[in-house]
Amino acid sequence: MSGNRGGVRSVQIGNARQAQVLFKDYVNRGINPETIEVEKSATSEVTGRTVKFDIVAENTATEVKAGYVSGSDAKVQIRNQFYASQENGLQYRYVVYGRISWPVKLVLIRFNIPFEERGE
């Protein structure tokens, strides 16, 4: 990957750190770390897409974001992950260490996806 200042690369690093925090939360709640899957892939027949979930534990696929979540890319990703989770027998939730734009919240609400904004 070429060197990016800020931008996409810093968001990827932030997301990875926040996923680590969530992983530790599961372990602290007594969940066996060996049963927690990280970056699990799943395919949706509805969308034809293969997606990756940041963390899968206790039959729940969790997407973790850092910063401000907005835009059509986020909405498409949520839709694709939602369908993949449903088709694979998983609950789906969305955790943001930051804020979620109103249009993205509307997608989460429309699909009845639990979400958390944990501040920055």
3-state secondary structure of 16: helix
Rounded Cα distance, 32 and 14, in Å: 25
Contacts of 30 (CB under 8 A, 6+ apart): none
Taken in order of first residue, the domains within the chain and their CATH numbers are: 7-117 (3.40.1350.10)
Question: What digits encode the pLDDT tens for the residues 52-97?
Answer: 999 899 999 999 998 899 999 999 999 999 999 999 999 999 999 8
Per-residue pLDDT, 114: 97
Give the pLDDT band of residue 106 (cuts 50, 70, 90).
Answer: very high
Least confident window among 13-22, 66-75, 104-113: 13-22
Q: What burial letters (b/e) apply to 15-35, b meaning 16+ CB within 10 Å?
A: beebbeebbeebeeeeeeeee
Residue 86 CB-density burial (10 A; 0-12 exposed, 13-18 middle, 19+ buried): middle
